[in-house]
Structure 1
Amino acid sequence: MMKYIYNQKILRLLLSGLLIISLASCKKGGAESKPVVKPPVVVTPPPSYSDPAAYGTPFAGVPAQKDMVMYEVNIRSFSQQANFQGVINRLDSIKALGVNVIWLMPTFPVGVLKSVPPLGSPYAVKDYTAVNTEFGDLTSLRKLVDLAHEKNMAVIFDWVADHTSWDNDWIKNKSWYLQDAAGNIINPPGTNWADVAALNYNNADMKTAMLRALRYWIFTANIDGYRCDYADAVPDDFWQSTIANLNAIPNRKLIFLAEGNKKAQFGDGFQLNYAFDFYENLKGIFADKKTPSTLFATQTSEMNNVANGGTKLRYTTNHDKNNEDGSPATVYNNKFGSEAAFVLSSCLDGVPLLYNGQEVATDKLMSIFTKDPINWAVNPDVTAAYKKILSFRKTNEAVKTGTITPYYDADVVAFKKTLQGKSVLVLVNVHNKTVIFNIPEALKGSAWLDIDKKQFTLSDNVTLQPYEYKLLSEK
């Protein structure tokens, strides 16, 4: 037994010695020891972007630029419901005017932080890929677009690319926004728009997110393009690459309208931009501050500032001008003046725009921050006149693209437009008084059809009642 214990002790000593030698060897010869092999780190790449599934069938009826008649919808003021269903309920009325493009003011959730009371500005976008629940949901928005397409009207969204609301989720990415010297995000430079934060177009990630959001609605709601708010403030290179990208989506014919007046925008891919000068001149003429002949100079100047087959959006009002200057019935002195002004905006070169309510000569100041429904029952005579004016435009190609011959007069805007040997003649009394227009020698004795298809022969002169107009086409 003692021997066994003794041998066990010897064995333990030998083993201990070997362990010590082994540890010492490891310390001295660490560089020669085998490295621990770790399993490879698997890096999962970020998911690649893909467009949402396409809803519906691309609309094949988007009108040619020369044939466009655009209608702006302020959803909050358009109906008692102040939602998408309220617009749906009046699609037939919009169509009956002769409209073929509907522009919906922003349909996105509105920011709350620093917002303008009581409801906030629809141009303070909180989420570029969501629907404002104030108006409905995606299903009701899609229904609106679908039904407009069924009635052969295109639908464009109002897009705000320059800025977002202060509570937009994008603001977590501070580098996506313009900042002052102290690193504070700022509102758009040169404005007093305290409810929005200015985006930074030197940031590639922000630009990618913006492009994806624009693509999103073309696929998700089957829309037909965009009216781009404050487009002058967004760099041309962004518009160029973005519009080219969107135009490359198969089977789509898209409309791009810039709220701006830069010639470069036509090179960027916009088909239309704003006739700012035309509006200001028209307003001045009806206020007796400018002579009728100045409208032709403005027309020529603006059309010389387009390119690539583009044209101007002509308007007598829109959501901005209604807020700033008053309703057309106020700006042009009464409902007859507003009607006469619309004749000029729809018969000179460009695409005519109607802002909801002007076709009933509403005197409302339709704030974009409140709900203030239009009374559609007033002034049915004005509505009937708008239909005739736009029908005259539609059935006479010379109105759309004819060559203008102006006739200068102190009281009347008078011009002929001719295309392929067919002419129209437009005479508009821009004063709230009766005037006599002396017929130019070249037109004396010529026979025409008036807007009601009745024969009208020009003699030496024409007496025009306050704000009366004549729309004449060749027999």
Structure 2
Amino acid sequence: MKWWQKAVIYEIYPKSFYDSNGDGIGDIPGIIKKLPYIKDLGVYAIWLTPIYLSPQVDNGYDVADYRKVDPMFGATDDLKELIKEAHKQNIKVILDMVANHTSDQCVWFRESKKSKDNYFSDFYIWKDPKPDGSAPNNWAASFGGSAWTYVPERNQYYLHYYASQQPDLNWENPIVRQYIFDAMRYWKAQGVDGWRLDVITQISKDLTFKDAPKVPGKKYVPLKNTSGPHMHKFIHELNREVLSPFDMMSVGEAPNSSIDEILKLTAPEREELDMAFSFEHMRIDKATGPNGELAVKKPDFKQLKDVLSKMQTKLANKAWNALYFENHDRSRIPSRWGDDKKYRYESATAFATILHGLCGTPFVFQGEEIGMTNPQYDMNQYEDIELKNSYQEQVEEKKLLTTKEFLDVEHKIARDNSRAPMQWNSSKNAGFSQGTPWYQVNPNYDEINVEKDRQSKKSVFKYYQDLIKLRHNEDILTEGTYKELIPEDENVFAYKRDLNDKHWLVLVNLTSKTIPMADLKSDEIKNYSKIIIHNYEGQEEKQLRPYEAVILAK
């Protein structure tokens, strides 16, 4: 097996991890200082969200210079030192490559917008206005408004799937592709071990640039399919030019991709990606109001089970799963799907058990391993451009929601929920910084922090340590077959992992209710009795307690 198939990978949001110099912003020397903590958790690799020079319109996902570390995080030498120290601890380092778009402050774009006939003019996607001067089509940007912005110097519009400050690169231009490949080779030369590839399935566009089918009440229409006709060809070329020659691990972000599409992206014989992040399982609580307003619904755990099982069975023996519930774009799971008050420990460890029991590579987001929760911030305390744009459109312009209604939704699902600084201890600013943090620390840091959790009888960190040890030591979790039991049950997730003469059962109550074992319509469950890992002390044979999670062997 490849190293990443046995690994658990720890995602770091550098800005919010640990501030070493008191300026309120987490930095690379801060990550170096916390390497012993990361090593103690037991992970094999760390993934850093973008650390390149950036105006930070979208927290680093708007890159101004792919070869320069942003001074807010340190210097290139600091990154080299992190890689060296991590490698000493047998920890791999994965960087985030934003290849779909750059910042509008990138020199490529600043030159491109000057005229239609300079060296960089074709690095981005420029289109003439419609006869009436309006945008080339009705596509909506993911962060709201039109996907097109007008530039007078060229008398043309440029395409941006995200913020207007994030112009999309023109991957049809082979020179653009080589510039991206060269940047990746540069970081390989510094010792980087792999890549997380941001929205990589969007690098190829629908070259007809036709209007999307109109949606009542919407001037601009979100694209349902953002993968163009040359997407697989471009990713295969990236593999051939960078990933395979340098034996670099890759995991691609695949918005709007079906499981069949993910299989194509990750089947080894196609030579594209090692793994891909699917979004489908994270949509079990998403909803839309009658007028298109933002909404959430009660999580549909039957749907969660169906999607995860489909991923397990469709990719079995054909490709490899990337497993996650939390990341820098997702909320904290105890707050979103669990109970972050009465059963915070139980719900945090329950969902962890589900994830780490599956076949694939689990990704853990900083703070997930201590059960951090969503903050309940006021509107003026949030930082995220997507959230601010959504508020402007939904509350201020269209008046679809009140501020309270908007916040009721965002308190559940906002990207910023996971971006609050890491909670290390009960001291000032949760031990994250001696200065004023760039983003407010969750006020509950006195109750929830690394130091307190590790001393607790109910330690989420200790449970994650034990789960991660199982991943590393038990082949059944990486090589065993998967079969779901009681798929029709809406409250309990039960599945088997089997390898040779070893047979394990993962059994998890997804609710805050006590569930009688007699309600579980499976004769097989009673055949498992030896506890491998359990988030409660002692087992009750007749019932599953709230968010009880256990892995049992026959």
TM bin (shorter chain):
0.7 to 0.9
Q: State the SS of the aligned residue for 2:300.
A: coil
Distance 1:206 1:128, change over 3 A: same
Task: Give distance in 2, aligned partners of 1:313 and 1:283.
Answer: 21
Distance 1:446 1:102, change over 3 A: closer
Aligned to 2:179: 209
Is the contact made by 1:156 and 1:223 (CA closer than 8 Å) also made in structure 2? yes
Deviations 1:193-224 (A, max 9, x none): 122111111212212211111111101x2101
Question: Within the alignment, does 1:243 sit opposite 2:239 as a pair?
Answer: yes
Distance 1:181 1:168, change over 3 A: same
Is the contact made by 2:313 and 2:482 (CA closer than 8 Å) also made in structure 1? no
Question: Within the alignment, does 1:413 sit opposite 2:498 as a pair?
Answer: no
Task: Give distance in 1, aligned partners of 2:369 and 2:43.
Answer: 12
Aligned to 1:49: none
Unpaired segments of 5 or more residues in structure 1?
1-61
Aligned to 2:359: 349
Aligned to 1:140: 78
Task: Give distance in 2, aligned partners of 1:387 and 1:74.
Answer: 20
Task: Give distance in 1, aligned partners of 2:298 and 2:535.
Answer: 32
Q: How does 1:35-114 map to 2 (within 5 A)?
A: 64-81=3-20, 82-111=26-55
Is the contact made by 1:445 and 1:457 (CA closer than 8 Å) also made in structure 2? no
Aligned to 1:444: 526
- Match for residue 338 of structure 2 among 332, 342, 347: 332
Q: State the SS of the aligned residue for 1:338.
A: helix
Whichever residue aligns with residue 545 of structure 2, its letter is Q
Question: Within the alignment, does 1:257 sit opposite 2:226 as a pair?
Answer: no
Aligned-residue offset at 1:155: 0.9
Task: Give distance in 2, aligned partners of 1:194 and 1:163.
Answer: 11
Deviations 1:230-287 (A, max 9, x none): 11111322211121122453xx431010001433322352010013222334999x97
Q: State the SS of the aligned residue for 2:330.
A: helix
Task: Give distance in 1, aligned partners of 2:297 and 2:307.
Answer: 17
Deviations 1:177-199 (A, max 9, x none): 1112145352424x4x1221111
Is the contact made by 1:275 and 1:312 (CA closer than 8 Å) also made in structure 2? no
Distance 1:68 1:283, change over 3 A: farther
Aligned-residue offset at 1:407: 2.0
Deviations 1:406-443 (A, max 9, x none): 22144321122101121111111111122222374345
Task: Give distance in 1, aligned partners of 2:284 and 2:535.
Answer: 31
Task: Give distance in 1, aligned partners of 2:483 and 2:14.
Answer: 40
Aligned-residue offset at 1:290: 2.4
Aligned-residue offset at 1:357: 0.9
Task: Give distance in 2, aligned partners of 1:155 and 1:121.
Answer: 20
Please, which moves more after superposition, 380-389 or 70-79? 380-389
Distance 1:288 1:382, change over 3 A: same
Aligned to 1:225: 194
- Match for residue 199 of structure 1 among 169, 188, 191: 169
The count of residues paired between Structure 1 and Structure 2 equals 395
Question: Under a length normalisation based on structure 2, what TM-score does the superposition of the two structures give?
Answer: 0.65
Is the contact made by 2:14 and 2:49 (CA closer than 8 Å) also made in structure 1? yes
Whichever residue aligns with residue 175 of structure 1, its letter is D
Distance 1:457 1:169, change over 3 A: closer
Aligned to 1:186: 158
Aligned to 1:127: 65
Task: Give distance in 1, aligned partners of 2:240 and 2:359.
Answer: 26
Task: Give distance in 2, aligned partners of 1:465 and 1:337.
Answer: 11
Task: Give distance in 2, aligned partners of 1:446 and 1:162.
Answer: 48
Aligned to 2:136: none
Aligned to 2:116: none
Aligned to 2:121: 174
Task: Percent identity, please.
Answer: 24
Aligned to 1:400: 478
Max Rg structure? 1
| RMSD over aligned Cα atoms | 3.0
Aligned to 1:8: none
Distance 1:309 1:133, change over 3 A: farther
Task: Give distance in 1, aligned partners of 2:501 and 2:366.
Answer: 36
Task: Give distance in 2, aligned partners of 1:142 and 1:414.
Answer: 44
Whichever residue aligns with residue 69 of structure 1, its letter is V
Aligned-residue offset at 1:328: 4.0
Aligned to 1:42: none
Deviations 1:19-47 (A, max 9, x none): xxxxxxxxxxxxxxxxxxxxxxxxxxxxx
Task: Give distance in 1, aligned partners of 2:127 and 2:317.
Answer: 38
Aligned to 1:317: 326
Q: State the SS of the aligned residue for 1:148.
A: helix
Is the contact made by 1:72 and 1:356 (CA closer than 8 Å) also made in structure 2? yes
Aligned to 1:5: none
Aligned-residue offset at 1:142: 0.7
Question: Under a length normalisation based on structure 1, what TM-score does the superposition of the two structures give?
Answer: 0.75
Deviations 1:354-405 (A, max 9, x none): 1111111222559678984211232331111111222233332212221123
Task: Give distance in 2, aligned partners of 1:288 and 1:462.
Answer: 27
Task: Give distance in 1, aligned partners of 2:527 and 2:177.
Answer: 62
Q: How does 1:259-338 map to 2 (within 5 A)?
A: 259-260=253-254, 261=257, 262-263=261-262, 264-266=264-266, 267-281=270-284, 289-292=299-302, 294-303=303-312, 306=315, 309-322=318-331, 328-334=334-340, 335=344, 336-338=346-348
Task: Give distance in 1, aligned partners of 2:317 and 2:182.
Answer: 26
Aligned-residue offset at 1:165: 0.5
Distance 1:181 1:298, change over 3 A: same
Q: State the SS of the aligned residue for 1:165.
A: coil
Is the contact made by 1:312 and 1:351 (CA closer than 8 Å) also made in structure 2? yes
Task: Give distance in 1, aligned partners of 2:374 and 2:253.
Answer: 23
Distance 1:462 1:367, change over 3 A: farther
Task: Give distance in 1, aligned partners of 2:181 and 2:463.
Answer: 42
Aligned to 2:391: none
